[in-house]
Chains A and B, each alone.
Chain A
Amino acid sequence: MRLDRSKDWWVKRAIAEGTATVGAGLLARDPVSEVDQRVVPLEESRIAFGRFINMMRRQHGLSIEELADATKVDTSELLVIEEDLHYVPGPRTVYQLARMFDVPQPRLMQLAGLTAANDAGLAEEAVRFAARSEAVHKLTPEENAALAAFVVVLSQQEPKRPT
């Protein structure tokens, strides 16, 4: 089968592709690592992740829609992240959120339950943070302080990496 179109026709469509990466079918999917599948996230971390995103968003004065726009993450996914403790977001989503809120991505991955916790410290801090925060109301000065303290913890403690 031949498909004959002008050079212009092809070029116009190629440009219209934009930044999309076109793919379809299970076979086209990236292979998954066996390690990922074994990770069982800590419940506390996941609570803290949802709260963290919720509070950072509010601190930045963003609606869920505005955050979705800024991070190119689906509105529906952000809603689920903030409200469903059992939801584990994809690496891309966490990456986008880490960039948006300027926190180290590996730590946020750990918080989101995407990678195994390799230090008890973060999990402990996450529990304390989750316990101090309230998911729905306006950000109180106390919450602001808790959030600021947690961002410090997130940014300071790099996971230990065996050589």
Chain B
Amino acid sequence: MVDVSTIYLVAGDTVEAVEAELRDTIEEPQLVDWQTQWQPALIETLRALAQRGVPMAKWPQSWHWDWRQKRAGVAGLLAYPGFSVVAQGVTQGLAQIDLTRSARAPEHAGKPFAYVDYLEVAPWNRSDLGKTPRLKGVGTALLSATVALSDQEGFRGRIGLHSLPQADDFYRRKGLTDLGPDAQYQGLRYFEMSEDHARAFLEEE
């Protein structure tokens, strides 16, 4: 049984509210969206970026994006607890949570928490590629859902994640503790959210 919450995002250009669904699972239609819509959009953008700086002699014949690994990883999402945000008829963001790990930061070291294994917004919702995102708030919604899940599991909202470089500042702003680059995760910075910050994060008006 899938629980669906009504949430709101905003349009990237007009800041008007856009109704969306927060679904407490990832299902086949989301993976189809990922493959048929996210992947082509991202390839297109990455190509445009690459064209600005890569010697054209190497392009495009010998240019192989390493999609095998990513596609295999996404295909595996069905087996884990996750969240998806759906709006305007298409999947806008995905997250997969691991509830079997424990926290590292001194204030709650060793305690169980919700580890964000994967969190990604659709390529057209990204603002780091020089375009105005179609929708804002997708990542925040997925993060909110993770904190709420942690709370529901009795973990008091504690969460942890390995941030993408373009998201580091966002997590710091949200009060997550920066525990530095993690060599085991290709140098991605590791962040944790404490119980106190989780409470503030989910606080109602």
The CA of A25 and the CA of B67, in the complex, are separated in Å by 16
Are A24 and B163 in touch, CB under 8 angstroms?
Answer: yes
Are B163 and A1 in touch, CB under 8 angstroms?
Answer: no
- Which of A8, A13, A95 counts the most chain B CB atoms within 10 A? A13
Q: Which residues of B contact A140 (CB under 8 A)?
A: none
Q: Which residue of B lies closest to A106 (CB)?
A: B53
Q: Which residues of A contact B52 (CB under 8 A)?
A: 95, 105-106, 109
Are B137 and A13 in touch, CB under 8 angstroms?
Answer: yes
Are B145 and A31 in touch, CB under 8 angstroms?
Answer: no
Q: Which residue of A lies closest to B7 (CB)?
A: A10
Query: B186 at the A/B interface (Cβ < 8 Å)?
Result: yes
Are A31 and B55 in touch, CB under 8 angstroms?
Answer: no
Q: Which residue of A lies closest to B203 (CB)?
A: A9
Are A21 and B7 in touch, CB under 8 angstroms?
Answer: no
Are B10 and A11 in touch, CB under 8 angstroms?
Answer: yes
Query: A120 at the A/B interface (Cβ < 8 Å)?
Result: no
Per-residue interface assignment for chain B, residues 79 to 97, with 1 indicating a CB less than 8 Å from any chain A CB and 0 otherwise? 0000000000000000110
Are A32 and B161 in touch, CB under 8 angstroms?
Answer: no
Q: Which residues of A contact B117 (CB under 8 A)?
A: 25, 27
Are A35 and B148 in touch, CB under 8 angstroms?
Answer: no
Docked complex: B103-118 residues within 8 A CB-CB of A: 116-118
The CA of A7 and the CA of B205, in the complex, are separated in Å by 11
Q: Which residues of A contact B163 (CB under 8 A)?
A: 23-24
Are A17 and B137 in touch, CB under 8 angstroms?
Answer: yes
Q: How far does the Cβ of A117 sit from chain B's closest Cβ, in whole Å?
A: 8
User: What number of B residues sit within 8 Å (CB to CB) of A?
Assistant: 74
Are A25 and B137 in touch, CB under 8 angstroms?
Answer: no
Q: Which residue of A lies closest to B143 (CB)?
A: A22
Are B5 and A2 in touch, CB under 8 angstroms?
Answer: yes
Query: A142 at the A/B interface (Cβ < 8 Å)?
Result: no
Query: A60 at the A/B interface (Cβ < 8 Å)?
Result: no
Q: How far does the Cβ of A48 sit from chain B's closest Cβ, in whole Å?
A: 17
Are A14 and B63 in touch, CB under 8 angstroms?
Answer: no
Docked complex: B1-60 residues within 8 A CB-CB of A: 3-5, 7-10, 15, 17, 22, 24, 42, 46, 49-50, 52-59
Check A23/B166 contact, CB under 8 A, given A1-B152, A14-B140: yes
Query: B121 at the A/B interface (Cβ < 8 Å)?
Result: yes
The CA of A105 and the CA of B15, in the complex, are separated in Å by 32
Q: How far does the Cβ of A7 sit from chain B's closest Cβ, in whole Å?
A: 5
The CA of A4 and the CA of B185, in the complex, are separated in Å by 34
Are A24 and B116 in touch, CB under 8 angstroms?
Answer: yes
Docked complex: B147-167 residues within 8 A CB-CB of A: 148-149, 152, 161-167
- Which of A4, A35, A109 counts the most chain B CB atoms within 10 A? A35
Q: How far does the Cβ of A19 sit from chain B's closest Cβ, in whole Å?
A: 5
Query: B99 at the A/B interface (Cβ < 8 Å)?
Result: no
Check A21/B167 contact, CB under 8 A, given A11-B8, A114-B53, A161-B56: yes
Q: Which A residues contact B (CB, under 8 angstroms)?
A: 1-11, 13-35, 90-92, 94-95, 105-106, 109-110, 114-116, 118, 159, 161-162
Question: Can you name 30 A-B pairs with beta carbons within 8 Å?
Answer: A1-B149, A2-B5, A3-B144, A3-B148, A5-B7, A13-B141, A14-B8, A15-B137, A20-B166, A20-B167, A21-B128, A21-B139, A21-B166, A21-B167, A22-B167, A23-B120, A23-B164, A25-B116, A27-B96, A29-B164, A30-B42, A31-B46, A31-B70, A33-B50, A33-B63, A34-B66, A35-B59, A35-B63, A115-B54, A162-B56
| A-B CB proximity, top 4 nearest | A22-B139, A14-B137, A20-B170, A109-B53
